Amino acid sequence: MQFSNRASAVDDVVRQIRGLIRERGLGVGDVLPSEVELAAMFDSSRNTVREAFRTLKAYGVAESRQKVGAVLTDQHQNAMRDLFSFAMEISVDAFRDIQGYRRLTEMNLFDLLADRLADQALAEMEAANAAILTAEDAERASEFDFEFHRLLVDAAGNRTLSETYGMLKPVIQRLMLAGKSQRLTLEAVVAEHGDILQALRDRDRIAFVYHMDRHLSAGLEFISE
């Protein structure tokens, strides 16, 4: 029973720290108050606060840094990205699964984009698209390709969607790498992106869905059975 009470006290402090983070608008890189300060703030013992910190560190929410203290991190997202990248083999089935996810997200963004899309976001997507042709190698080209689509997703203004899309970056970018060593492939990607951008400028839903679907299917020829 004593152990249960202790665990409950730690959970309470974890919840209070999460509340503090929200209230103060703290983000990645910000420093949390010290153990002594939090113990006084939450009327708790330093041992309980220390255990709460360990919980936050285990979830990748915070890390200890010398001479600084507990700092908020995004290691949870990084760990998820690494897991996806390690576990996912790029096969035909994997391609269809990932592109299927992207169809459910990117192809259904039109209404949000039509209402929110600003000239600056369009300009940023155009710049990322143009950079594909001048990239020094295939890997860098795939990074610009991903950047184009990330900007598209971010422009919809849904933070959860953006974070989920970001966690899949290693796998999506590995798919995008296929065929990028060929100049004709790069030119085709840039042209397809251009069609998507034009559909957005014209606020043409049918053209947007058509060009996005065509674009998401194009890389399958480079994936081995």
Q: What is the pLDDT of residues 61-94, one digit of tens each?
A: 788 887 778 888 766 555 555 544 544 455 666 6
Coil, strand or helix: which one is 44? coil
pLDDT score of 126: 95
On whether the CB atoms of residues 138 and 203 are closer than 8 A, the answer is no
Q: How confident is the model at residue 208 (pLDDT cuts 50, 70, 90)?
A: very high
pLDDT score of 22: 84
Q: What is the DSSP string of 81-95?
A: HHHHHHH---SHHHH
Whether this prediction's pTM lies above 0.75 is answered by no
pLDDT score of 121: 92
- Average per-residue pLDDT in the chain? 82
Distances (CA, A) of 221 to 141, 175, 176, 178: 18, 11, 12, 9
pLDDT score of 1: 36
On whether the CB atoms of residues 201 and 122 are closer than 8 A, the answer is yes
Q: How confident is the model at residue 3 (pLDDT cuts 50, 70, 90)?
A: very low
CA distance 60 to 225: 37
Tell me the percentage of the chain whose pLDDT exceeds 70.
Answer: 81
Q: What is the pLDDT of residues 139-175, one digit of tens each?
A: 888 899 999 999 999 999 988 888 888 888 877 887 7
**Greater confidence, 100 or 97?**
100
Read off the pLDDT of each residue in 164-192 and give the average, rounded to a whole number: 81
End-to-end CA distance of the chain: 57
Residues 6+ apart with CB under 8 A from 207: 195, 198, 199
Q: How confident is the model at residue 20 (pLDDT cuts 50, 70, 90)?
A: confident
CA distance 52 to 63: 12
CA distance 88 to 163: 19
